[in-house]
Amino acid sequence: MIPAAHLWLFFVMVFGVVLLPGLDMAYVMASALVGGRRTGLVATAGVVAGGACHVLMAAFGVMAVLKLWPTAFNAMLLAGALYIAWIGWSLLRSRATFGALPTQSARTQVATFRRGMVTCLLNPKAYLFMLAIFPQFLKPEYGALWLQALVLWTIIACTQAGIYGGMALAGDRVRAWLDARPAANVLVARGVGGLLVATAMFTAYEGWRGI
């Protein structure tokens, strides 16, 4: 039996980490601004799926391998930063405003989910969390480790869904407001692209420094 105090402490840690601005949050907000509420929520689902992969990797010891092989970890940091920067650069170069973008097709929603998952998988903040914090909450005396990992992942998934889902809904409202203001629409589209690029650079720097 896992003590309630143990789970609450983990939730507080997860809440603080997820609430910090980073690649996942920036991608979800950009997706909601570009495609509306549904696209933002699909991006959120992709991030949650990526979080599940992080927990699986931690359970199978992949995180320990990355910790012992800094070169591979550094490569992941750079890959994640470059990936989100590429998405931001695409927005900066695009001549379309948010309101002028075409309606999202089913295929595009699949791509949005996949991008959200990849963004999470390449997010250095997530790897630092899984390396430094997650293992401390797996206690043999609390029962089967796989069951503990499942419970902890549930907390992570619910927290991500709540925070990023809220961001998606907020982004959809901003998009509706921008539809009636073409001039502001263009400025915000460029601003979001610049924000993604800046976030990627900052995250890469912070992640590299934290190793």
Best mean pLDDT range from 17-21, 53-57, 62-66: 53-57
- Count CA atoms within 13 Å of residue 195 on its CB side: 17
Please report which confidence band the pLDDT of residue 98 belongs to, taking 50, 70 and 90 as the band edges.
very low
| pLDDT in the model for residue 108 | 83
Quote the pLDDT of residue 27. Answer: 86
CB 104 within 8 A of CB 40: no
CB 52 within 8 A of CB 165: no
Residue whose tokens read 């199978």: 60
Residue 31 has a pLDDT of 84
Residue-range domain boundaries for the chain: 22-209
The pTM of the full predicted model, rounded to 2 decimals, is: 0.68
Mean of the per-residue pLDDT values for the chain? 75
What is the rounded average pLDDT of the residues 59-84?
A: 64
Q: Which of 29, 10, 56 is nearest to 156 (CA)?
A: 10
Give the Cβ contact number of residue 205 at 10 Å. 13
Across 73-81, average pLDDT: 64
Answer for the pair 116, 42: CB distance below 8 angstroms, yes or no. yes
More confident residue, 42 or 210: 42
Structure tokens at 64: 């320990």
Measure the CA–CA gap between 147 and 142, rounded to whole angstroms.
10
Measured between its terminal Cα atoms, the distance across the chain in Å is: 34
Percentage of the chain lying above the pLDDT 70 cut: 62
pLDDT average, residue stretch 167-184:
68
